Structure formats: structure tokens, C-alpha cells
Amino acid sequence: MFDIRGVLFYRRPMVFDDDLGDGPDPPARLATISRHLDGLLAAQAWQLSDGELAGLIEGMCRLTGRVAAARGLLFVEAQDRGFAVRHGATDLAGWLRDRLRLTTRDARRQVTLAHDTTT
């Protein structure tokens, strides 16, 4: 197990420390994004106007693409540095499968997509 400023790793779900704030490091930024998403999930969507609803749908769709791009960059970096093997997996897809409880097919598809879209 290791801890990078509140993001815990080792066969357990990610835990985000709410006290990280808006620091410049990636784990703090991810924690901030997570908190904001929690706020969106807690909101009463039925109270939104049609304009607000449209804006949120468009924004979430755009954000999803940006999250996929960031994930792709991290996957490629992990592959380039041999991260998964150092952590006991045969490859990154195997590490993702074990950590995120994905099927082998889904894990391989995510790694392939990341590689194809970022290189």
C-alpha cells in the first residue's frame, strides 16, 4: 500500500481526502473534481430549468471526453514505465482488471483505446 496525498492504492477503492484543496498536484486536482461531482450528484435535478439541464448535459458530455483523454495519458505513462509489472500484474490490462474488477476484455479494450488515441 502507498499513499499519494490522500489517494490510497492497494486493492481497495480510491479514497479521496477532502482536505487536499485545490493544490497544483494531480491527486489534489482529482480530489477536487471528485468533490464537485459529488455535489452534482447530490443536486436535485428536477429543480433545474431546461436551460440549466441542457447546459449540464452538454458540459458532462464534453467533460467525459476530457476525462477519457486524461485517463489515456495516464495509461500510456503507466505502460511506458512498466508500472503494472512492478505492482505484480502481467500488464496494465491485468492490473486494471484486478483493481477495478473489470472483465479481461474490457480492461484490454480500455488500454488499447488509450494507446490508439494518445500515440
Residue 8 host element (H or E): strand 7-9
pTM of the model: 0.72
- Per-residue cell: 47: 429543480
- Per-residue cell: 19: 482536505
Reported as a pLDDT band with limits 50, 70 and 90, residue 105 is: very high
- Per-residue cell: 42: 447530490
Digit-coded pLDDT (tens) for 64-98: 999 999 999 999 999 999 999 999 999 999 999 99
Amino acid identity for residue 47 in this structure: Q
Digit-coded pLDDT (tens) for 21-50: 556 799 999 999 999 999 999 999 999 999
